[in-house]
Chain A
Amino acid sequence: MNDRQNVQQQFNRRWFLEQCGVGLGSIALGSLLGNGALAAPVAADPLAPKQPHHTPRAKHVIFLFQAGAPSHLELFDNKPELAKLDGKLPPAELIEGYRAAFINPNSTLLGPKFKFARHGQSGAEISELLPHLAEVVDDVAIVKSLVTDAFNHAPGQIMMNTGSQQFGRPSFGAWTTYGLGSESRDLPGFVVLNSAKKGTSGGASNWGCGFLPTVYQGVPLRSQGDPVLFLSNPPGIDAQSQRESLDALATLNKMRLDAVGDPEIATRINSFELAYKMQTSAPDLMDISRETPETLAMYGAEPGKPSYANNCLLARRLVERGVRFVQLFHEAWDHHGGLTNGLKEQTALTDKPSAALIKDLKQRGLLNDTIVIWGGEFGRTPMVQGGNDGRDHHPNAFTMWMAGGGIKPGITLGETDPFGFNVTGDKVHVHDLHATLLHLLGFDHTKLTYRFQGRDFRLTDVHGRVVEKLLG
């Protein structure tokens, strides 16, 4: 579609009546990713589904973000050597030039706190803390060789979620929604769910749209009260009053459109109609009591009791409804102390639902085109912090897992040294992870760009390479 056609289409007054609310034809990516820097008038539905650069393997993403940085040494990266060296100082060459957040790098090593065993046909090694993940491990790719640039939480989370330590860049979810649009007509394209006792270090920037249009920003859904902010009518306005009000509003707005001819009025009329639909669809989405007891039990979800488990189940329901990108935030893993009990507590809350999500997506045939990602902003030091039950922040090596959507199942990728300190094989930088995930979503990560301040920005900045070994 060229510019003129697009403009014409915008202007056609009947367009919004005919086209909106029902499946819009795909708009070619090329017309979206132009170089134009104009503050364009509100254009044809910016969330309409779009074709990426190549045929995508995945259409949806569910990112289970474990904020605070879970210890790879207790969960995935088994280091028997480290156990033997417990209480000893690390080799000088290992920590030369190393900057730690809290500890003196020359602190004693701390052996792993939990046992590991191999599981599934793939024989992946997993901690005893993750028995449920062990059941689905053949569907999962474990990557032990993640590397990031930041070792403080807020910059680290922003790095993982936006590809930059600097605030103000679009998040992964925003890029994805910008590139692909959404298949849901009455829910936001990028949805955020939060569990745990507090918010994330990186705050709303973790799901922000940066310089992309506001419509691509993540919308937090809430488990209590209005699922979407301002969703409920004011007290006393019932369904009929609301419909009558919106009808009057649309009538008056249409009169104005006829009088002044500004096509933006058509967009606003449409926005009010979509808002009205969302008033029904969002509560319907959130009502997990309609799930079967078996499903609820599989996740450990309980209607009316907000939890990570409920959020995992909601993630499936969102993807079922065509939402493009779902991100869970669970800020609970910053174990400078109380590592042993902290991990027990958090894995008890998260292991079962995370694994259930894989099973559930698979049994519904959704896993094929949905990528599920699990991980935090960095790893933790093999050196102890405090007494003998804590670890500091560590950016040089950490573990994530992912499944579905074209990820090669049943593999473990990457190696670290005997301390779990440095990556020794198949290094995957955060930029590489992003490049790979974008590849699965149908994008050449070097071409998914947005022109801002005279420069074409990318999720992967000027870095990133697709990790072929992760592709199924």
Chain B
Amino acid sequence: MKRVGSVCAMLLWASSTVAAEPVDFKRDIQPLLVKHCYECHGPVKQEAGLRLDQRDPAFKGGDVGNTIVAGKSGESVILQALTGASEAVSRMPLDRDPLPSEQIELVRRWIDEGATWPADEPGEQQDKRRDHWAFKTPVRPSVPAVKNEAWPRGDVDRFILAKLEAEGLSPSSEADRITLLRRLSLDLIGLPPTIAEVDAFLADETPQAYEKQVERLLASPHYGERWGRHWLDAARYADSDGFEKDKSRAMWLYRDWVVGALNRDLPYNQFLVEQLAGDQLPGATQDQIVATGFLRNSMLNEEGGIDPEQFRMEAMFDRMDALGKSMLGLTIQCAQCHDHKYDPLTQADYYRLMAFLNNDHEAQPTVYGPEGLAKCQQLLGEMNRIEMGLKEATPDWQSRMAAWEASAAGNQPEWHVLQPTTHVDTGGGAKLSLLADQSMLCAGYAPTHCTFRVEGTTPLKTITGLRLELLTDPNLPHGGPGRSYKGTAALTQINVEAQAADGSGKLEGQKIAAASADFEQTETPLEAVFDDRSGKKRVVGPVSFAIDDKNETAWGIDAGPGRRNQARKAVFRFEKPIAFDAGVKLAVSLAQNHGGWNSDDHQNNLLGRMRVSVTDASEPAADPLPAHVRKIISIPAGERTPEQVATVFSYWRTTVAEWKDANDQIESLWRQWPEGSTSLVLASRDNARETRMLKRGDFLKPGDPVTAGVPEVLHDLPADAQPTRLSLARWLVDPASPTTARVMVNRVWQAYFGTGIVSTSEDLGVQSETPSHGELLDWLACELMDSGWSLKQLHRTIVQSATYRQSSNVSPELAERDPYNRLLARGPRFRVEGEIVRDVALAASGLLNPKLGGESIYAPIPESLLALSYAPLTWNEERGPNRYRRALYTFRRRSLPYPMLQNFDTPNGDFSCVRRQRSDTPLQALTTLNEVIFTECARALAQRTLAEAPADDPQRIAHAFRLCVSRTPSDVECQTLLDLLGKQRERIAEGWLNVREIATGENALPGKLPQGATPADLAAYTVVARVILNLDETITKP
């Protein structure tokens, strides 16, 4: 594929300089040096001894000498190098395309005019790269004057027209109404207009007819789906983890958040703040927390034998990349290993920026969809009412509760936390890391069967019992305490060995006499998801199951939705006290064999975070009080918050016998609690991680520590800013930001016109392509900010312009003059994005299920593709209405991209993508011809046509045609399709074609036929419908 930048650059350059005017070094020459020369002859490197970022060294020249000879371009080596005329010096820039001849000509003129290179003003910065336009806050430019005052509908058009006029070009006429509505509809909601919508627009003779359509479409909930998909590319959204296991993950609430935020026109600055730091906003809502999934969309490796910290750092790099491309518009990831080669960004800048993001838990809390959330609120309300009732009916409840507290306080023995010296998964794979409180957190690989072994010594001379705490942790599913998909765990067996702490003697097994726990399930068959295909009956139940030496029984801690994700503890009392004068060395084995058969899926039932303590108290047993209640009652009563008092009450009331009825009522309400989902989000850590520079980006080679900060070349961070993500987010959306608004308006422009004003939409830095309309970019950026960051307003501004409304027809002359339509002397025309290719077919055929939101759906996928998966994979193909949901909702598995979408250039979420490829390949043709949904669409379109159109072939064909491309076919187009129809009918009549197969996809008669239609009609029309669905025009924005 030919990828050309120079044609446009040339046109731009030609227009920006007037021949007679002398060359100005700062305006004309220095930007060329910055862009093309500094990498090798700048502040960082001076290849061949040549330095071109300062005047004196530049004139002194490099090893060859005579770099710039004022007044004598012929003798100046720099010019020879640019033209490739020198024997001594290679053509420059080395290994790159030569500069356009216009630019070389500028350099020649500059030298011949005397090579004036003004000295820097005092205080002027030395690094000329900082002068690059994108590092300066956009300022609203004045709108240019134009000759043709009749054409512009708004200021956008004046910028476009001024340039066209300078080029001697004229804009195209306005497109016809059908084309306009189709373009508008595909652009704003990603669906074609219906025939009724087209007719209504054609019939609307009011002057505001077009604007009404704009408002109708902007108000459609499908607007958020269409534009949300763009953001999801940038957010590298996917429904699976990536890497070998590539487990499914629940991120659909984040996807729905994006769609919803756009639909309610959440201001773009707030849109960014919530995604970077929604959890840190005061009174953060679930929505705002879910929004931080933007950062969590990174891939996650849970392959056996990985080091979790290595891949946490990989995810950090990925987040920086996403932040850089999608929000900052700078290739900051280039500074991960070394100072940026082109932009004035240092490696320290990179790690200082990362320090804002590096202080979080990789959290996955319980979240609820809209219905679940409402149900939770309702249940909590009812529980509160019952509790209020109890309190009202019992005026002395406070003193009674205090008395109960007094009896409970101090009734627990002293527990000594065992400091682990060894803590491993002996089964191999899962990684345990030791936290500051001596608990161990399990991460990485999650096998379904394994045994943790924890060893440690205690100075206690006698041990009567051992306490195993299962602790919650934000990094565990639903907060834990287990690693199962519910955050639960099952302990199959605990075994304890002991020896003297000095190592004398041998480790000997210790018999456990009794086990107690603060929560234990009644005996329950293991859930189907944990079936290990052994055929054995496996159960979870009371904690005694953990000491019964049976591999089929385990201690279970699933207290049901809403209550299962809290810390639990079990205490194991030894038959005989363990006694060694030197203290005791303990080895605790925790067997966890209650997972399923497939360690590549969510079938583990592992402990997530655990801590071991020992005591020498007699008859140790588990504290019945939940840990969080125990913790509150240790706080002096006067210092507790109302919430803490309520928490204690909620526990205490369960111990009050006379409240049995109320307790039973609340218990039954808990049993109605909905199952939540998880969503990957960020949660701040209490203890800040230290961020260090990494040598060559290698996490094993940490360098100097850095503090959080922003790149020096960009606007300042407020002096009092805390080192939080919220500070970073607010800094990012500061109106002083040089790039934030520009990046977004540029990407929106790109979506409409195929190419951004800056074609390198991920990079506005020094190496970016010269903007085609730099002032328009700044104007739009200021408009966005001044409108209160309203994206819908930005869309209005663009789609209401005369520029947008031009016909996209192209003459050979114009195609040659401006092949990429950068000057916009015509409207945009290109193939729609992959998702829309499918959505158009679904909409035209009437199959589309327009339902919004919810979990991703398993659209049909070829069986043979599943064999390409490493991990055994269940793909429950949708057979119901979900089958025909918009492509936005198709489950996106990273290692197995959905083939229809992949063929149409849809990114799979491995990394942030702000600019899709747009290819045209035979595989695309095969997809729209033969993929199962498309063939179902062809049959449905035939059905629909026969049902909706009058029983007349030309009218039927016109109807099908309009459903697909909005316009009525010309006579000759209609005749072509009639001929095709006729040929099919003929061959059907002669018995050559299998009517049943064509009409139904199988050897069956069509179930329901439109009135007056025969199976043969349906088959013949299916062939015709397939052709119409495959027209270039059907999948093209006109």
Is the CB–CB distance between A248 and B1027 below 8 Å? Answer: yes
- Given A214-B921, A236-B997, A260-B829; A268-B1032 close (CB under 8 Å): yes
Is the CB–CB distance between A233 and B755 below 8 Å? Answer: no
Say whether B911 faces chain A, with CB atoms less than 8 Å apart: yes
Most buried by B among A167, A385, A392: A167
Partner of A228, one of B923, B938, B977: B923
Is the CB–CB distance between A249 and B1027 below 8 Å? Answer: yes
Is the CB–CB distance between A248 and B1 below 8 Å? Answer: no
State which of A33-41, A77-85, A411-419, A428-436 sits at the interface with chain B.
A33-41
- Given A215-B1, A245-B980; A34-B862 close (CB under 8 Å): no
Is the CB–CB distance between B868 and A454 below 8 Å? Answer: no
- Return chain B residues, CB-CB under 8 Å to A235: 994, 997-998, 1001-1002
State which of B2-10, B78-86, B457-465, B476-484 sits at the interface with chain A.
B2-10
State which of A1-9, A127-135, A311-319, A338-346 sits at the interface with chain B.
A1-9
Bound-complex Cα distance A431 to B843 (A): 49
| Shortest CB distance A142–B (Å) | 28
Is the CB–CB distance between A263 and B998 below 8 Å? Answer: no
Partner of A199, one of B767, B870, B897, B993: B870
Is the CB–CB distance between A271 and B1027 below 8 Å? Answer: no
Interface residues on B, range: 35 or more
CB-CB nearest in chain B for A165? B314
Is the CB–CB distance between B2 and A31 below 8 Å? Answer: yes
Partner of B895, one of A10, A205, A214, A261: A205
- Return chain A residues, CB-CB under 8 Å to B4: 3, 6-7, 34, 36, 38, 40
- Given A4-B816, A7-B819; A215-B869 close (CB under 8 Å): no
Is the CB–CB distance between A248 and B759 below 8 Å? Answer: no
B-facing residues in A168-211 (Cβ within 8 Å)? 168, 188, 194, 198-205
Is the CB–CB distance between A229 and B868 below 8 Å? Answer: no
Bound-complex Cα distance A234 to B341 (A): 53
Say whether A284 faces chain B, with CB atoms less than 8 Å apart: no
Is the CB–CB distance between B331 and A455 below 8 Å? Answer: yes
Is the CB–CB distance between A11 and B1023 below 8 Å? Answer: no
Say whether A15 faces chain B, with CB atoms less than 8 Å apart: no
- Return chain B residues, CB-CB under 8 Å to A279: 926
Is the CB–CB distance between B895 and A199 below 8 Å? Answer: yes
Is the CB–CB distance between A233 and B1023 below 8 Å? Answer: no
| Shortest CB distance A212–B (Å) | 8
| Shortest CB distance A180–B (Å) | 14
Bound-complex Cα distance A35 to B8 (A): 13
| Shortest CB distance A5–B (Å) | 10
- Return chain B residues, CB-CB under 8 Å to A199: 867-870, 895-896
Is the CB–CB distance between A34 and B1032 below 8 Å? Answer: no
B-facing residues in A37-60 (Cβ within 8 Å)? 37-44, 46
| Shortest CB distance B335–A (Å) | 11
| Shortest CB distance B32–A (Å) | 14
A-facing residues in B1-42 (Cβ within 8 Å)? 1-8
Is the CB–CB distance between B920 and A260 below 8 Å? Answer: no
Is the CB–CB distance between B763 and A454 below 8 Å? Answer: yes
Q: How many residues of A contact B (CB 8 A)?
A: 105
Say whether B702 faces chain A, with CB atoms less than 8 Å apart: no
Is the CB–CB distance between B870 and A203 below 8 Å? Answer: yes
- Given A39-B759, A204-B895; A252-B830 close (CB under 8 Å): no
CB-CB nearest in chain B for A235? B997
Is the CB–CB distance between A44 and B2 below 8 Å? Answer: yes
Is the CB–CB distance between B1023 and A43 below 8 Å? Answer: no
Say whether B437 faces chain A, with CB atoms less than 8 Å apart: no
CB-CB nearest in chain B for A11? B815
- Given A37-B760, A40-B3; A252-B973 close (CB under 8 Å): yes
Partner of A252, one of B307, B862, B976, B996: B976
- Given A101-B304, A235-B998, A248-B980; A38-B1027 close (CB under 8 Å): no
Bound-complex Cα distance A441 to B926 (A): 31
CB-CB nearest in chain A for B338? A462
| Shortest CB distance B31–A (Å) | 15
CB-CB nearest in chain B for A269? B1032
- Return chain B residues, CB-CB under 8 Å to A3: 2, 4, 6-7
State which of A88-96, A116-124, A147-155, A353-361 sits at the interface with chain B.
A147-155
B-facing residues in A220-274 (Cβ within 8 Å)? 220, 222, 224-226, 228-238, 240-241, 244-245, 248-249, 251-253, 255-256, 259-265, 267-269, 271-272, 274
| Shortest CB distance B344–A (Å) | 13
Is the CB–CB distance between A39 and B755 below 8 Å? Answer: yes
10 smallest A-B Cβ distances: which pairs? A203-B895, A101-B305, A236-B997, A36-B5, A236-B998, A275-B925, A201-B244, A454-B767, A274-B922, A235-B997
Q: Assuming A38-B759, A200-B868, A453-B760, what are 17 further A-B pairs, CB within 8 angstroms?
A: A7-B7, A36-B4, A42-B919, A152-B306, A203-B246, A204-B902, A214-B905, A237-B1026, A245-B980, A252-B977, A252-B1031, A253-B1033, A259-B809, A264-B831, A271-B924, A278-B926, A454-B768
Q: A residues bordering B, Cβ < 8 Å?
A: 3-4, 6-8, 10-11, 31-32, 34-44, 46, 99-103, 151-155, 166-168, 188, 194, 198-205, 213-215, 217, 219-220, 222, 224-226, 228-238, 240-241, 244-245, 248-249, 251-253, 255-256, 259-265, 267-269, 271-272, 274-275, 278-279, 331, 336, 385-386, 392-393, 446-447, 449, 451, 453-455
